Structure 1
Amino acid sequence: MRWNLKPQPNPINVNHLATSLGVDGAVASLLAQRGVHTYDEARQFFRPSLDDLHNPYLMKDMDKAVERIETAIEKGENILVFGDYDVDGTTAVSLMSSYLKSFYPNVDTYIPDRYKEGYGVSDAGIDYADDNGCTLIIALDCGIKSIDKVAYANSKGIDFIICDHHRPSDTLPAAIAVLDPKRDDCNYPYDELCGCGVGFKLVQALAMNRNQTINDLISYLDLVATAIAADIVPITGENRVLAKFGLQVINTSPRPGIKALIQNIKKQVLTISDVVFVIAPRINAAGRIKHGNYAVQLLTEFNLAEAEGFAAQIEGLNADRKDLDKQITAEALLQIERNSDHDKKTTVVFQEDWHKGVIGIVASRLIETYYRPTLVFTRSGDKLAASARSVKDFDVYNALEACAEHLEQFGGHMYAAGLTLKEEQYPQFRQKFEAVVADTIHPDLLIPEISIDAEINLGDITPKFFRILKQFEPFGPGNMTPVFLTQNLIDSGFGKAIGKGEEHLKLYVKQEGTEGFGAIGFGLAAKKDLACKGNAFDAVYSIDENVWNGETTLQLRLRDIRCEE
């Protein structure tokens, strides 16, 4: 494990910020690392406001999209809201369809079948629109590369509006409007929105056109926050505002579908992390195991009893997903062992009966064991399909682009992508992908890294310090939970391995001249002797709260420890 202390901000700027805000230097340094340098920027960071959201009409083609939707409503056209089968897509479809249906009835939804149609806009979806008299399709979280599909729809007299956030190709589809802040010719101030976020900007523009305010849209933000968390987009700028207020909705007045998913969680206040690990996997399970329509039904149902029924179905699908995930991960690890692929710079595994719905999860699991860019393949019809996952700071999308000659389709992000290819291309692709990664990845990127915000002493950890850290939430990419380094720690002598398999490490640590803190290191029991033999050691950790017997205390959540050399 590499420990990487982030570059520390200019001390003069830190001191100025600390003075203007009335906070200590450690807090001011953390803010500066997050791009906060002035009092006004700090106010915006600590007190995000819906007024901070940008005018949606700053996005290229927004005026065209709104005009086409209003024309469809005026003429009584049937509108089909089309979206991907993952969390971002299903929340986006739920958002757009429920907003439109609040004042216009001729709205239908369509989620492609992961197994029969695959990712993105499909001929089957366009045929469904045609068969049902839909003359306008609003595509969410997909469509930016669907040049042929949009042309096919146009040939049937069906118009397209595309709301996407994936990287466009040089040529855009011939849609009425293409809303994508990553377009080169789009000057929208923030380009890290998720697909549901782009859909929300369209809803916001429609609302403005209908003399509604942002306050009329707050009830939809639980969907947007869920998509932001699940799609692992940066929680900066507009995403931070949307996530903050969306979490408030989740915690106070969530839609019945989300309420049904979380009502058995024994936590008073859910965080972004809870959304990532509790809500998102369940919504995703619908599209992974059965069909994404189950998720849309859940998220657009306004009767709690009905929503609880849908949630129970999805809970069952999520249990199936967990079983498949565990089984396929074990099979993939065995395949790597048998093939002696330990020295490669990539992991590429294939088995034709692996469930397509969980290969992305399996790819992430494999990275936990073999820390390198990973592809997990399965058969999909007469093609092979794969999910790609990457390691920190390596762009797997660019690596796939360099192998495009061997691919039928690919798309995605820096850290996650999907692809299909012909079976006969698999050996050449696998060889080329390994060569591309080997030539372009820095060796350090193949070693897991802990990124450390600052070095502090235990004496710096006070209740006030922690209260301010809590105000840094919501945490996520671009604003991760602060991680600290403290040197020369000593365990009090009560350190021990805990847990059913004794895999976790529990310590009570002290530093000379300070009071001690309880510390917990999940999965760190193998390092028990480093801390429990009287040695001085260094620790990397975040700070959280431990509630025991009704008493709440601060504790260190250990990420790693090592002895002084």
Structure 2
Amino acid sequence: MSKWMVYAKKADFKAIAARYGIDQVIARIIRNRDVCTNEEIDMYLGGDISSMHDAHLLKDADKAADIIIDKINHRKHIRIVGDYDIDGVCSVTILLKGLKKAGADVDYTVPDRIADGYGINENIINHAIEDGIDTIVTCDNGIAAIPQINYAKDNNMTVIVTDHHDIPFKEENGEKVFLESDADAIVNPKQKECKYPFKMLCGATVAYKLIEIIYERLNLNPEDLNEYRQLAAIATIGDVVDLEDENRVLVKFGLSTLKNTKNTGIRALVDACQIDIASLSSYHIGFVIGPCLNAGGRLETARHAVSLLLEENPGEARAKAEKLRSLNEERKDMTEKEAAKAIDMVENTELINDNVLVVYLPECHESVAGIIAGRVKEYFYRPTFVITDAAEGAKGSGRSIEGYNMFEEITRCGYLLNKFGGHPMAAGISLDKENIDEFRWQLNHNQKLTKEQLTPVTWIDVPMPLGYAGFPLIEQLKLLEPFGKGNEKPVFADKNLRVRQASIIGKNRNVLKMVLEDANAYSYDAIMFRADSMNVPKREQNISIVYYPSINEFNGKKTIQFVVTEWK
């Protein structure tokens, strides 16, 4: 069970509410998201595309644009090297469409998850040499591919890196020494010398920024940029980067314009998933559309997803969308079975004593290792790696918790790994099988996680009586959308509520329906999804709840319903 904590961040909520014409509850939530200054609040509540930061501030972005335009003018063959996930797929599509509009002789490749692993490698470079490629442009990868890029340079290739992952480093005398390849230009806001004011872009947005500069230089039709922004918005949600600053602006733009998208593939995938495109939300992209775009790269090839996003024929797009939807259904079945196996393994072996979990599932398809690591991490609330057998040795994916920088921790064990990369909350590794036990031992030996850090915390935005949540406030909560990492859905709490009715309902018997009564004898309808039938409050019992107020519409009648996430 989580520990409940209430935010205690200070501000003049009355003044903020008066300035922006909002309820003080809304003002408090905004402050809880560390949006403090008037400029930040202006961007949070009213930011639009014009609020996005200047692409020219990205280190090497102008240099990369100059190189690419020169290559276009001299008819040099350019190859884009992407990644196999949603961010990589969207990045490739943005660069390919943008560079073709700019007149480039350009094609693309994406690594095979099993044969190639993550990012650019010597095999991809050798194919490029054979094909007479002059210039490689990476997207959503490349920052850590130092020997690979140096190999390309040794073979007289021009290399431009666009990426958003953490800069690799080594430790010397307790100091971080950041590493860098010999690429001709490196566009990544996380570079120490980069003056870009926001560091948490996804790979597709970095690619978009580069295309934006090229469009500006060549005076191309700026209307095209809307489609690229929509793709960057999809990648921002799908890659789970923080929905702060311009990421939030970009996602708001994407969600508001996708209903009119010119991308035939996106329309076909929305239809295949039986979603009304007019009501497309960040939830649909994160949990329905995104997994389908990822499914191709997980089980077959990411080319399926890129091909869909490039497709202009509606009939062909429908067939490609259905293929991805079907692959995702297969992926879901696979995930459920292996996740159950992983949880059982931890619960019934010595792994249960570890603070950092390393679960070896040799027969698991390596493409779902990251999803399973996320499931295990949520279940036990511990940093988790899931490692599977690969064509050569073993591969793994990790998912972390707050307070444990996964990328830094695996860097300390880098001598045990053949390849690794990532960021504080997630990582990918490859290693020899005989090193798995030592890797597990080293991670647990090095970790300094406290009992407090290993206890999940539910942060409550506002302790608020149910009676305060009327229709006007619920309507204002929409100002805070879209929700996601870095801009989480608000959390409210109330206490001393008397349970008047409580019953388990639903086809799967996992929905708790309640009628709660406050001290003033007012009654409220409440519902809890994914409920445990063994944990139902007793009638007339007093409970405290964590909740979110919603509007339930049935037969044309609107009522307020409180969605409970936890009760004590």
What TM-score, normalized by structure 1, do the two folds share? 0.94
Aligned to 1:426: 436
Q: 1:119 to 1:266 in 2, by over 3 A?
A: closer
Q: In 2, are the aligned partners of 1:21 and 1:39 still within 8 Å (CA)?
A: no
Deviation at 1:135, TM superposition (A): 0.6
- The alpha-carbon deviation at position 512 of structure 1 amounts to 2.7
Q: How does 1:377-526 map to 2 (within 5 A)?
A: 377-437=387-447, 440-493=448-501, 495-513=502-520, 515-526=522-533
Q: Assess, with a 3 A threshold, how the Cα gap between structure 1 residues 110 and 350 changes in structure 2: closer, same or farther.
A: same
Quote the offset at 1:427 in angstroms. 1.8
Query: For 2:60 and 2:104, how far apart are their aligned partners in 1?
Result: 25
Determine the C-alpha separation between the residues in 2 that align with 1:272 and 1:138.
29
Distance 2:146 2:307 in 1: 29
Q: CA–CA distance in 2 between the matches of 1:53 and 1:454? A: 30
Cα distance, 1:84 vs. partner?
A: 0.8
CA distance in 2, matches of 1:215, 1:8: 45
Distance in 2 between residues matched to 1:528 and 1:382, nearest whole Å: 46
Provide the rounded CA distance (Å) in 2 between the counterparts of 1:112 and 1:10: 48
Please name the residue that 1:230 is paired with: 238
Per-residue CA deviation, residues 128-167 of structure 1 (Å, 9 max, x unaligned), is: 2222222111100000011111111112221111011111
Paired residues for 1:151-550 under 5 Å: 151-169=150-168, 170-212=178-220, 215-253=223-261, 255-263=263-271, 264-267=273-276, 268-437=278-447, 440-493=448-501, 495-513=502-520, 515-526=522-533, 529-530=536-537, 532-550=538-556
1:130 aligned counterpart, secondary structure: helix
User: How big is the shift at 1:325?
Assistant: 0.9
Cα deviation, residue 391, structure 1: 2.1
Structure 2 letter corresponding to 1:219: E
Residue pair 1:221, 1:249 contacting (<8 A) in 2 also: no
Matched residue type, 1:513: N
Answer with 46-55 or 67-76: which moved more: 46-55
Q: Secondary structure at the match of 2:452?
A: helix
1:457–1:334: structure 2 CA closer, same or farther, 3 Å change rule? Answer: closer
* Equivalent position amino acid for 1:65 in 2: A
In structure 2, what is the equivalent of residue 34 of structure 1? 33
Measured after TM superposition, the shift of residue 5 of structure 1 is: 2.7
Shift in Å at residue 61 of structure 1?
0.6
User: 1:458, 1:514 within 8 Å by CA — same for their partners in 2?
Assistant: no
Tell me if the contact between 1:360 and 1:388 (Cα under 8 Å) persists in the aligned partners: yes
Q: SS at the partner of 1:79? A: strand
CA distance in 1, matches of 2:468, 2:9: 18
| CA distance in 1 between partners of 2:145 and 2:180 (Å) | 8
In structure 2, relative to structure 1, the CA distance for the partners of 1:214 and 1:443 (3 Å cut) is farther
Structure 1 residue 357, shift from structure 2 partner? 0.8
Q: Which runs of 5+ in 2 are unaligned?
A: 169-177
Structure 1 equivalent of residue 47 of structure 2: 48
Q: Offset of 1:42 from its aligned partner?
A: 3.0
Residue 278 of structure 1: how far off its partner (Å):
0.4
Q: Distance in 1 between matches of 2:275 and 2:283?
A: 15
User: Cα RMSD between the aligned structures?
Assistant: 1.8
Letter in 1 for 2:319: G
The 3-state SS of whatever aligns with 2:394 is strand
Aligned residue type for 2:551: E
Shift of 1:277: 0.2
2:140 is aligned with what amino acid? D
Cα contact 2:102–2:220 (8 A) shared by 1: no
More divergent stretch after superposition (469-478 vs 516-525): 516-525
Contact 2:93 2:306 in 1 (8 A): yes
- What SS class does the counterpart of residue 487 from structure 1 fall into? strand
Cα contact 1:65–1:161 (8 A) shared by 2: yes
1:1-80 correspondence runs (5 A) = 1-10=1-10, 13-37=12-36, 39-80=38-79
Which residue number in structure 1 is paired with residue 123 of structure 2? Answer: 124
Contact 2:5 2:457 in 1 (8 A): no
Q: Is the 8 A contact 1:527 1:561 kept in 2?
A: no
Letter of the 1:555 partner, please give it: Q
Secondary structure of 1:538's counterpart equals: strand
1:264-307 per-position Cα deviation (integer Å, ceiling 9, x unaligned): 43444121121110011001110000011111101111222111
Partner Cα separation in structure 2 for residue 550 and residue 3 of structure 1 = 39
- Write out per-residue CA displacement over residues 400-424 of structure 1, whole angstroms, 9 at most, x where no aligned residue: 1222222222111111100111222
**Normalization by structure 2: what TM-score?**
0.94
Q: Which amino acid aligns with 2:210?
A: L
% of aligned pairs identical?
32
Identify which range, 509-518 or 313-322, moves more after superposition.
509-518
Cα 1:33–1:214 shift into 2, 3 Å: farther
**Secondary structure of the equivalent of 1:297?**
helix
CA–CA distance in structure 2, aligned partners of residues 394 and 554 of structure 1: 39
Partner in structure 2 of residue 552 of structure 1: 558
Aligned-partner residue type, residue 524 of structure 2: F
Q: CA deviation at 1:66?
A: 0.5
Alignment partner of 2:98: what SS?
helix
Give SS of 2:321's match: helix
Give the distance between the partners of 1:489 and 1:527, measured in 2 at CA: 20
Q: Is the 8 A contact 2:377 2:384 kept in 1?
A: yes
CA contact (8 A) 2:159 2:184 kept: yes
Identify the residue that residue 92 of structure 2 maps to in structure 1: 93
Q: Is the 8 A contact 1:89 1:140 kept in 2?
A: yes
CA contact (8 A) 1:8 1:454 kept: no
Instruction: For 2:403 and 2:534, locate their aligned partners in 1 and report how far apart those are by CA, in whole Å.
Output: 28
> Which blocks of at least 5 consecutive residues in structure 1 are unaligned?
none
Note the C-alpha offset of 1:18. Answer: 1.8
The amino acid across from 1:187 in the alignment is K
Closer/same/farther in 2, CA of residues 256 and 110 from structure 1, 3 Å limit: same
Q: Deviations over 1:306-343 (max 9, x none)?
A: 11111111122112211211222233233334424222
One-letter code aligned to 2:4: N
Tell me the distance in 1 between the aligned counterparts of 2:314 and 2:519: 56
Q: Deviation at 1:213?
A: 7.2
Q: Which amino acid counterpart does residue 566 of structure 2 have in structure 1?
A: D
Cα deviation, residue 393, structure 1: 3.5
Q: Give the superposition deviation at 1:507.
A: 1.2
Q: Is the 8 A contact 1:347 1:370 kept in 2?
A: no
Code of the residue aligned with 1:83 in structure 2: it is G
**In structure 2, what residue type is equivalent to 1:450?**
T
8 Å CA contact 2:503–2:536 kept in 1: the answer is: no
Which digits, 9 at most, give the CA deviation of each residue in 1:446-480, with x for residues without a partner? 22322211111112211111111111111112211
**Retained in 1: the 8 A contact 2:137–2:159?**
yes
Q: CA deviation at 1:368?
A: 3.3
Query: Residue 353 of structure 2 aligns to a residue in which SS?
Result: coil
The answer to whether residue 103 in structure 2 is matched with residue 104 in structure 1 is: yes
How many residues are treated as equivalent by the alignment?
Answer: 557
